Structure 1
Amino acid sequence: MKNTIFILLFLFPISSAFSQVEDAWVYLKDKPNEASFYAAPLTMLSQRSLNRRARYNIAIDFKDVPIESSYISAIKNASGITILAKSKWLNALHIQGTKSNIDALLNLELATFLIVDSIEYANRRLNASKPIISSKRLPRTKKKQLETTTGFTYGNAENQLLMLGGTTLHQNDFTGFGMQIAILDAGFPNVNTILAFKRIIDNGQILGGYDFVDRSTNIYGGDSHGTSVLSTIAGYLQDGVDGATRSFVGTAPDASFYLFRTENAPVEVKLEESLWVEAAEKADSLGVDVINTSLGYSVFFDNPEHNYTYSDMDGKTTFISRGAEIAFSRGMILVNAAGNEGNDTAWPNINAPADAPSVLTVGAVNASGNIASFSSFGPTSDDRIKPDVCAQGQATSLINTSGRVVTANGTSFSSPVLAGVVACLWQAFPDKTNAEITQLIKESAHLFPSFTNQEGYGIPNFKSIFETNYVDDNDIDGDGIENLVDSCPNSPKGTVVDETGCFYMPSNNFIIEVINETCIDKNNGKINISATIPYIYTANINGANYSFTDENALALTNLAVGPYEICISIENQNFNQCFNVNIAKGESVSGKVKVSSKFALITLNKGTPPFKVYLNGIEKIRTMNMAFELPVKQGDLIEVKTNISCEGVFSKEINFEDLVSLYPNPISTNVNFNFPTEIMGLNVTIYSVLGGVIFERKILKSNPKVDISSLKKGLYFLQVKYNHEVKTFKILKN
């Protein structure tokens, strides 16, 4: 009996495997009524969406046409098939059914026409044309973001904006007004009730939304993740206003929003990809400008057979990444979290749709701008740079569903922090395309054109983008001086001007370096000229013209000794500034030597390093220093040669007999003597100022001092004799 039960238990999963429900995408062959939709574009897209297409010269095409309704009905009515989602962009339906029922759709006809082009199963093993080795990893529970209550001040929230240079946009009244942002996330509970969103509710800044998971118009349910994400862009609190006890301002407080729930937080299923594409299509049809996505898909599906491999992270394999690329082609900017798997040794990579080429993929840094270890790594499997840029995603300030200001970690939050500033930037430059805005952001980043696999190009600088590109109607030449007081209203772009709006050149713009002749009669002087402000310069030097720029300095060589007049002018500017310089005649090496008991300190006054130092003909030192020390003894010969042979040789012979000294002076009791070991002793004689001998004694090295305490106070002469030498000191007895 036990064997029978075992066999039954063993056979049941096998038989059920053939009848289990599968997820699949059914791709349809055509859209037979597309011409009628081209004739009536408002049946596909809103006027705002059409205006965006016209502004950026984006044509309406096949992808914009809705799926043929008769095809949807035919598949819906097919045996055992359930339609879960649809995508007009990919002309596809996300369905569920058994494999046999799904495969049968390949033979589905309408008026003798086969309507299904191909089928792609979520279970990679079932796609015979593209066999997939599924991941052996077990499904993983989704990680909750670390959330901690903090003693938040406005300054902490402001750092998220300051890091990106976004305050410059806000200070110039670019706060997202007129821009539409779609948040595609897991839910938005309490957005309609907590104080932080009262401002956008009262101002009508939430334009609508949809719960694609539950197919409901109630957008204020689901997981709390989306509420936190939205708060980084739209949250608004002012301490003391409406009962607020803290201040908080998101990165685009005046933007308008659509809230779309596409993620079912408790599970990880392929349907979520389809719902995301469906929501992106809706965003496009409404005329949304920016989509933020703090979601990603890779190897964490509940069904391991649905997992992707790293090779699939190529921006063109996953359903969601293909949809993201189409979304970008419609004129929107897509900002996406890179992922939080940086510390996961098995899968440290970015997820889809962060791998899509046109998506602006965002990594996470801390408040100091250092990369967060959890931030996922690039590149894509086809070796493209990802992530693209970074924003603060560690200890990010946000507002939770209780209305409290807290901090949390994750690229889920660096992405919307950046997305809000992107919307403000696009508000400032509405004539630039999504591709142009995205490229400006990448090129402004602090590492560009360099990159790392975890930071991408680094932290973008929206301040520099704005200041480089913005033209104010009140300042037509963009020189910072308003038209009413601008005496030179047509200054070329980039001209540095004074308070009147006219050309100005700071006195320290030019650096002129003169290098004198190295040796006499060599005629090898040099003049180097560089500038800091970017212009095309012409230098007239003693009648000859030479061009240079701030990036390519001017270097003249082999110049004769004598005076030079340098006059510098600037292309297209009324400017001329002259300088007078002189190339001096070459000189020989020179210096001095100070000898102590066993060392010689050599100090060179002139000469070109590096120096070679010889002692008795043997090289001892090579140095760049103008002063150096050498151990010596009586009779040693020091020679110093410079890097230029024509400068000659500096030499000094050591004579310790010049080294006898005494101390202290004035003297109370003992006179102490210093003399080298080469001198065995001193004969000391003390004279009065009238020349009379008062004191005589022999001093030895073993006891080099004399007691003169018995002498009266006054001035004396002390004479020492050694090795046929005589040296006299004037001393004062206290």
Structure 2
Amino acid sequence: MAKNNWLIICLLLIGVWSAESAWAQRPGLYLLRFRDKTGTPFRTDQPERFLSARAISRRQRQGIAITERDLPVNPAYVRGLQQAGANVVYTSRWLNAALVEVATTRLAPLLALPYVAGLETNRVLNNVRIGAEAGTQQTTSKFGQTDAIPAYGPAAAQLTALGVDQMHAQGFRGEGMLVAILDAGFLKADKVPFLQSLFTDKRIISTYDFADREADVYDDDSHGLNVLSIMAADVPNQLYGPAYKASYVLLRTEVAASENPVEEAYWLLGAEYADSTGADVINSSLGYTTFDNPADNHTVADLTGTKTLVSRAATWAAETGMVVVNSAGNEGGSIWNYIAAPADSPAILSIGAIDQAGALARFSSIGPTADGRIKPDLVALGVSTVLGVPNGAITRGNGTSFSSPLVAGLATGFWQAFPRLTASQVRDLLRQSGSQADRPDNQFGYGIPSFTKAAQIMTGQLAFSVYPNPFTSADRLQIQWQEVSNNTPVDIRLTDLSGRVLTQQRFGPGQSLSLSSHPLNLQAGLYLLTLSAGNQQRTIRVLKQ
């Protein structure tokens, strides 16, 4: 009897060992970081080899330099990984990394390569394998849910609260702007009537599905469709988006049926893709707190904007000159309660949700961040928000997923109205336009933004301004001169008090006006900054500290 029991135990152990061995042999996704970009054939003075003309122009307008972080990874390193047996799925410029598919047992030789610095995280990024197709049924995604009851006509409430009606009345509907949406799928977006004009006008510029590794984004989750409809629908008397004349890049970075760390890597890759197309604005109604494998979970202490991969990616995206808008999260009142990554990034606008009475939605995540910063930044309607669904109907939904695209659409039209602004200035002005900008808190942030108020600030207080002033050698002077047409070139001249010209530059139509003080090697003291455009001229004293 004991002998038989021992045999059974042995067979069970063999079965466990066989299962574990089989699991180790299964390909998993890992993010390998490279040590450097030494030997890369790409150069910062030849950005046209890896960035679109629109992406380069966006940086030039804002005085943002192409840096080593923008360079693609070294192709020789990629070939080395492939020769060592890895399937290189994607590479990341900003992280200087490769997302590889490889069995756990074959990971060690890759880590031993001299140019591999290590893993972004020591665990496999896709603990649960999801099939290539998630199905065509409407599903609920983590930051929003759609109700079955259709609505007719009340979309005006979510627009007028933000002054979008005034924005549209002045002719700013997103024309010429490019918006990237990172989401879980855009089910039937190419079929529904409320988005027909996007396709008729050929304003869907590009699509990509990072999870399924294909261009088709119209066969998965409906959450991205909901978001896109809020921004871009065009249905008289039912639903208009704030930026319904903008162009769009649709990117699937989220797998709604699971929650794995690889989705943060997909978000990074999606943001890099958006950057390379020249997108002006990113909307992301996504966020990450806990995962299918609890070992991968974030903690509230991670919300510093610098710890999670997705938050670092959001900051990098903003630093390329894009306005990044992200939902705050739907964890309000839960055990987590706080915002989710990447809403903790200091460089982006994180959006909470309110109802039509202006009260904070009970589910809207709150701040502060782990390092004490105010979040969310702003709020918009996220309760009974009017939106479209895959069967072509106009209905309602709840979630910060649906307040975020409203603000992203507002940012798009506002930037169209004031194209000389930098992305950081757009963010700051929208915060300043908030309904409680003088008393921000960690529930509403700076409050409900307003196109009208932001425009008043621009045409009034900031009709002509230079900041920072005083400035240091590390600063870039940002200049606003709204009295001058955007079609007029501007000459900038910096002199000392004796009239000696220290630098003189011409800025073409549409370029942001900025001046770097670092190469001038200025001594501390007063200087005169003169701007000329046609027969108009402005001079202001600036102080070098």
TM-score range relative to shorter protein? 0.7 to 0.9
Q: Is 1:68 matched with 2:74?
A: yes
Residue 189 and residue 370 in structure 1: after superposition, are their counterparts in 2 closer, same or farther (change >3 A)?
same
- Contact kept? 1:252, 1:421, Cα under 8 Å: yes
C-alpha distance in structure 1 between counterparts of 2:260 and 2:387, whole Å:
28
Equivalent AA in structure 2 for residue 414 of structure 1: S
Q: 1:381 aligns with which of 348, 370, 387?
A: 370
3-state SS in 2 of match to 1:121: coil
- Contact kept? 2:268, 2:314, Cα under 8 Å: yes
C-alpha distance in structure 2 between counterparts of 1:6 and 1:460, whole Å:
66
3-state SS in 2 of match to 1:25: strand
Give 1:222 deviation, angstroms: 1.1
Query: Which residue is equivalent to 2:491?
Result: none
Query: Which residue is equivalent to 1:606?
Result: none
C-alpha distance in structure 2 between counterparts of 1:380 and 1:3, whole Å:
56
Matched positions, count: 444
Residue 310 and residue 100 in structure 1: after superposition, are their counterparts in 2 closer, same or farther (change >3 A)?
farther
Cα deviation code 1:98-124 (max 9, x no counterpart): 55532332321xxxxx11123232539
Q: Is 1:314 matched with 2:314?
A: no
Q: Is 1:91 matched with 2:80?
A: no
- Contact kept? 2:430, 2:449, Cα under 8 Å: yes
- Contact kept? 1:85, 1:274, Cα under 8 Å: no
Query: Which residue is equivalent to 2:453?
Result: 464
Residue 274 and residue 335 in structure 1: after superposition, are their counterparts in 2 closer, same or farther (change >3 A)?
same
Q: 1:336 aligns with which of 320, 326, 339?
A: 326
- Contact kept? 2:189, 2:218, Cα under 8 Å: yes
Across the aligned residues of Structure 1 and Structure 2, the Cα RMSD in angstroms comes to 2.5
Equivalent AA in structure 2 for residue 91 of structure 1: N
Residue 423 and residue 17 in structure 1: after superposition, are their counterparts in 2 closer, same or farther (change >3 A)?
same
Give 1:311 deviation, angstroms: 1.6
C-alpha distance in structure 2 between counterparts of 1:77 and 1:268, whole Å:
31
C-alpha distance in structure 2 between counterparts of 1:83 and 1:298, whole Å:
27
Query: Which residue is equivalent to 1:261?
Result: 252
Residue 296 and residue 12 in structure 1: after superposition, are their counterparts in 2 closer, same or farther (change >3 A)?
farther
- Contact kept? 1:290, 1:333, Cα under 8 Å: yes
Query: Which residue is equivalent to 2:33?
Result: 27
Give 1:36 deviation, angstroms: 4.2
Residue 11 and residue 386 in structure 1: after superposition, are their counterparts in 2 closer, same or farther (change >3 A)?
farther
Cα deviation code 1:143-169 (max 9, x no counterpart): 584423446333x10111111122211
C-alpha distance in structure 2 between counterparts of 1:151 and 1:304, whole Å:
38
3-state SS in 2 of match to 1:38: coil
Cα deviation code 1:535-565 (max 9, x no counterpart): xxxxxxxxxxxxxxxxxxxxxxxxxxxxxxx
Query: Which residue is equivalent to 2:337?
Result: 348
- Contact kept? 1:366, 1:372, Cα under 8 Å: yes
Q: 1:431 aligns with which of 394, 408, 420?
A: 420
Residue 116 and residue 368 in structure 1: after superposition, are their counterparts in 2 closer, same or farther (change >3 A)?
same
Q: Is 1:250 matched with 2:249?
A: no
Residue 14 and residue 456 in structure 1: after superposition, are their counterparts in 2 closer, same or farther (change >3 A)?
farther
Q: 2:216 aligns with which of 204, 218, 227?
A: 218
C-alpha distance in structure 2 between counterparts of 1:29 and 1:166, whole Å:
47
Equivalent AA in structure 1 for residue 385 of structure 2: T
Q: Which has the higher helix share?
A: 2
Equivalent AA in structure 1 for residue 119 of structure 2: I
Residue 414 and residue 3 in structure 1: after superposition, are their counterparts in 2 closer, same or farther (change >3 A)?
farther
Matches within 5 A, 1:529-548: none
Give 1:284 deviation, angstroms: 0.7
Equivalent AA in structure 1 for residue 250 of structure 2: L
Q: Is 1:192 matched with 2:182?
A: no
- Contact kept? 1:177, 1:254, Cα under 8 Å: yes
- Contact kept? 1:394, 1:409, Cα under 8 Å: yes
Q: Which consecutive unaligned segments of at least 5 residues does structure 1 have?
A: 109-113, 126-140, 239-245, 478-492, 495-734
Cα deviation code 1:634-664 (max 9, x no counterpart): xxxxxxxxxxxxxxxxxxxxxxxxxxxxxxx
Matches within 5 A, 1:378-527: 378-470=367-459
Equivalent AA in structure 1 for residue 115 of structure 2: I
Q: Is 1:106 matched with 2:115?
A: no
- Contact kept? 2:432, 2:454, Cα under 8 Å: no
Equivalent AA in structure 1 for residue 81 of structure 2: I
Cα deviation code 1:46-90 (max 9, x no counterpart): 1111111111011111111111112112113324x4434321111
- Contact kept? 2:182, 2:284, Cα under 8 Å: yes
Higher Cα Rg: structure 1 or 2?
Answer: 1
C-alpha distance in structure 2 between counterparts of 1:5 and 1:447, whole Å:
70
3-state SS in 2 of match to 1:449: coil
Query: Which residue is equivalent to 2:48?
Result: 42
Give 1:405 deviation, angstroms: 0.8
C-alpha distance in structure 1 between counterparts of 2:99 and 2:404, whole Å:
28
Q: 1:305 aligns with which of 283, 295, 306?
A: 295
Query: Which residue is equivalent to 1:505?
Result: none
Give 1:202 deviation, angstroms: 1.1
Residue 234 and residue 90 in structure 1: after superposition, are their counterparts in 2 closer, same or farther (change >3 A)?
same
3-state SS in 1 of match to 2:158: helix
- Contact kept? 1:313, 1:380, Cα under 8 Å: yes
Residue 233 and residue 13 in structure 1: after superposition, are their counterparts in 2 closer, same or farther (change >3 A)?
same
Equivalent AA in structure 1 for residue 152 of structure 2: T
Query: Which residue is equivalent to 2:315?
Result: 325
- Contact kept? 1:84, 1:271, Cα under 8 Å: no
Equivalent AA in structure 2 for residue 30 of structure 1: D
Query: Which residue is equivalent to 1:115?
Result: 115
Equivalent AA in structure 2 for residue 119 of structure 1: L
Normalization by structure 1: what TM-score?
Answer: 0.57
Matches within 5 A, 1:139-178: 145-150=144-149, 152-154=151-153, 156-178=154-176
Equivalent AA in structure 1 for residue 331 of structure 2: E
C-alpha distance in structure 2 between counterparts of 1:36 and 1:83, whole Å:
19
- Contact kept? 2:143, 2:329, Cα under 8 Å: no
Query: Which residue is equivalent to 2:346?
Result: 357
Moved more, 167-176 or 144-153: 144-153
Give 1:97 deviation, angstroms: 3.8
Cα deviation code 1:118-143 (max 9, x no counterpart): 32325399xxxxxxxxxxxxxxx965
Equivalent AA in structure 2 for residue 85 of structure 1: Y
Bigger relative contact order (CA 8 A; separation at least 6): 2
Q: Which has the higher strand share?
A: 1
Equivalent AA in structure 2 for residue 425 of structure 1: F
Cα deviation code 1:336-391 (max 9, x no counterpart): 011111131x2112111111111110000011211000011211111111111101
C-alpha distance in structure 2 between counterparts of 1:5 and 1:343, whole Å:
50
Identity %: 38
Give 1:32 deviation, angstroms: 3.0
Equivalent AA in structure 2 for residue 292 of structure 1: N
Query: Which residue is equivalent to 2:57?
Result: 51
C-alpha distance in structure 2 between counterparts of 1:211 and 1:36, whole Å:
26
Equivalent AA in structure 2 for residue 350 of structure 1: I
Equivalent AA in structure 1 for residue 222 of structure 2: S
- Contact kept? 2:33, 2:119, Cα under 8 Å: yes
Q: Which consecutive unaligned segments of at least 5 residues does structure 2 have?
A: 126-139, 465-481, 484-545
- Contact kept? 2:186, 2:220, Cα under 8 Å: yes
